[in-house]
Structure 1
Amino acid sequence: MISLALLLFLIMDPFGNLIVVNTILAGIPSQRRKWVILREAGIATGILLAAVFVGGPLLNVLGLEEHALRLAGGIVLFLIALGMLFPSRRVIDEESTDSPLIVPIAMPLIAGPSAISMVILFSEKQPLLEVSSAVLIASAASAILLVASPFIFSFLGHRGAVALERLMGMILIMLSVQMILDGMDAYFLSRA
């Protein structure tokens, strides 16, 4: 369960999200900012828990096999990780003064496609209680980190945050390649 929670935490990429969340919530007062982050983390947790319980049956209804999800999740994770290693300019709606609701913090920043696909994959192989617990642990850790983002960002500075994001990107590239290889392996074994 701890290894699954750690993997999910890495895929959620709260270190990479520090800069984005700081930018999105820049005009929001400190106390309200904490509640916005906690609300968004709660919504993201709900999305991931829904994926735990509904994701597998939904794949079955759609006729999708596990290796297809593993390959697709690996490709999406690879693209996200590439974006972390080689970031382009992120476009954020600067005219909006309201706090975000669901998009972009809850989804896709916290509960992105890679996190959702990983949760579905693990819910097919692991006990649902274990996967649900891992989701709760990873979401709580991510929320704590995002709530503390002003302190972390001031401690690390912009360059430190960017360096940490790139390190996480490298780790996620390795994880995504492993997911793709596992998906290909499962595909070829199912066809043999």
Structure 2
Amino acid sequence: MNLVEITLLLFLVIDPFGNLPFVIAVLSGLDARAYLRAVLRELALAFLVLLAFALFGGAILHYLNIEPWSLNIAGGIILFLISLKMIFRSARDIFADGYSDNPILVPIAVPSIAGPSTITALIVLRTKEHLPLETVLAALVIVFLLACLVFLPGRLLSRALGDRGLAALEKFMGLLLNLVAVSMIMRGIRDFISGLAAAA
């Protein structure tokens, strides 16, 4: 995979357009300046969480003795389920009730942005695809810059596109993510069969 493909994958998994209504709802009690500060803070926290998994995720898998093919299959299944959720829901099924007007880390940075699917994708890229750390980090930086372009003017963007426009964008990204997920699962199955054949 090249830098463009990695960036596209991570952008689809993080799903800024799908998360935008939730972020706006959680931060609805803030004025414009406080909203911008909160978004930047949550993006920075999410970036640090994902950076930690990009750096140490492989070591964790090695310690747990997890085979690379199993990560591909499990990661693909997770992404597949996330993609179905993106495609078929008509509205956000995560509600903002129960959180303060300016929450820290949870629920925006984790798990909305740095969620299990994003963490899994990062670990797969680093361990199964054997991609250089600098390439993955470059893609991560680009994705978070793109996320800033979605979240920072989020209130204006939400009003311009409307709920139906945001839903249509999320469904399209879900379809692309679905294709990526199926490809990951098939690679994992192929590697598993190859391993059995080599051991026979």
Q: In which range does the TM-score fall when normalised by the shorter chain?
A: over 0.9
Q: How does 1:115-134 map to 2 (within 5 A)?
A: 115-124=118-127, 125-134=130-139
Residue 122 of structure 2 corresponds to residue 104 of structure 1: no
Specify the alignment match of 1:7 in structure 2: 9
Report the CA distance between 1:89 and its aligned residue: 5.8
Report the CA distance between 1:97 and its aligned residue: 3.1
Specify the alignment match of 1:44 in structure 2: 46
Q: Deviations over 1:60-118 (max 9, x none)?
A: 00000111111111111111111111226624242433312212211221112121111
Q: Deviations over 1:122-160 (max 9, x none)?
A: 222111111111111112211221112112111111111
- Give the partner amino acid of 2:28: A
User: Which region of structure 1 is more displaced relative to structure 2, 140-149 or 90-99?
Assistant: 90-99
Specify the alignment match of 2:162 in structure 1: 157
Q: How does 1:29-40 map to 2 (within 5 A)?
A: 29-40=31-42
Are the structure 2 counterparts of residues 107 and 97 from structure 1 closer, same or farther at C-alpha, using a change threshold of 3 Å? closer
Are the structure 2 counterparts of residues 89 and 51 from structure 1 closer, same or farther at C-alpha, using a change threshold of 3 Å? closer
- Give the partner amino acid of 1:61: Y
Using the size of structure 2 for normalisation, the TM-score is 0.90
- Give the partner amino acid of 2:158: F
Mapped to 2, the partners of 1:95 and 1:4 lie a distance apart of: 35
Match of residue 72, structure 2, among 70, 83, 106: 70
What count of residue pairs does the alignment treat as equivalent? 192
Report the CA distance between 1:172 and its aligned residue: 1.2
Query: Structure 1 residue runs of 4+, over 4 Å off?
Result: none
Match of residue 94, structure 1, among 93, 97, 101: 97
Mapped to 2, the partners of 1:103 and 1:190 lie a distance apart of: 40
Gaps of 5+ in 2: none
Contact 2:27 2:101 in 1 (8 A): no
Residue 181 of structure 2 corresponds to residue 186 of structure 1: no
Specify the alignment match of 1:140 in structure 2: 145
Match of residue 54, structure 1, among 53, 56, 73: 56
Gaps of 5+ in 1: none
Q: Deviations over 1:6-65 (max 9, x none)?
A: 221111111111111111111221111111111111111111111111000110000001
Identity %: 38
Contact 1:73 1:113 in 2 (8 A): no
